[in-house]
Amino acid sequence: MIRTLLLILWTLLVTGFFAILAIFVSFTSKSGDLPHIVARIWAKCILVASGIKVTVKGHSNIDSAGSYIYMSNHLSNFDIPVLLAYLPVQFRWLAKAELFKIPLFGYAMQRAGYISIDRSNFRSAVQSLKRAAKNIRDGVSVLIFPEGTRSQDCNIQPFKKGGFVLAVDSGVPIIPVIIHGTWPIMPKKRVLVKPGNVVLEIVKPIKSSDYTRKTKEDLMEKVRNVLIESFEKVNKDRSLC
pLDDT at 28: 83
The CA-based diameter of the chain, rounded to the nearest angstrom, is: 53
pLDDT at 238: 64
- Other C-beta atoms closer than 10 Å to the C-beta of 222 total 17
Long-range Cβ contact pairs of 2-8 (< 8 A, separation 24 or more): 3/193, 4/191, 4/192, 4/193, 7/49, 7/50, 7/193
C-alpha–C-alpha distance, residues 193 and 195, integer Å: 7
Query: What are the residues whose beta carbons fall under 8 Å from the beta carbon of 18, sequence distance 6 or more?
Result: 38, 39, 41, 42, 45, 108
pLDDT at 237: 63
pLDDT at 103: 80
- Residue among 155, 145, 146 at smallest CA distance from 231: 155
Strand partners, 93: 143
Sorted by where each begins, the domain ranges of the chain are 2-234
pLDDT values of the chain reduced to their tens digit, one per residue, 241 residues: 788 888 899 999 999 999 899 888 888 877 788 989 999 999 999 999 999 999 999 999 998 888 999 999 999 999 999 999 999 999 998 777 787 888 877 887 777 778 877 777 777 777 777 777 887 888 889 999 999 889 988 889 999 988 899 899 889 999 999 999 999 998 887 888 899 999 999 999 999 999 999 999 999 999 999 999 999 888 776 666 6
- Residue among 158, 5, 145, 177 at smallest CA distance from 77: 145
Q: Which amino acid is at 231?
A: F
- Other C-beta atoms closer than 10 Å to the C-beta of 195 total 11
pLDDT at 89: 92
pLDDT at 167: 92
In degrees rounded to 5, what are phi and psi of residue 53?
Answer: -110, 135
Pair type for strands 174-180 and 196-202: antiparallel
**CATH label, 2-234, candidates 3.30.360.10, 3.40.1130.10, 3.30.420.10, 2.40.50.140:** 3.40.1130.10
Please give the DSSP secondary-structure letter assigned to residue 159.
Answer: P
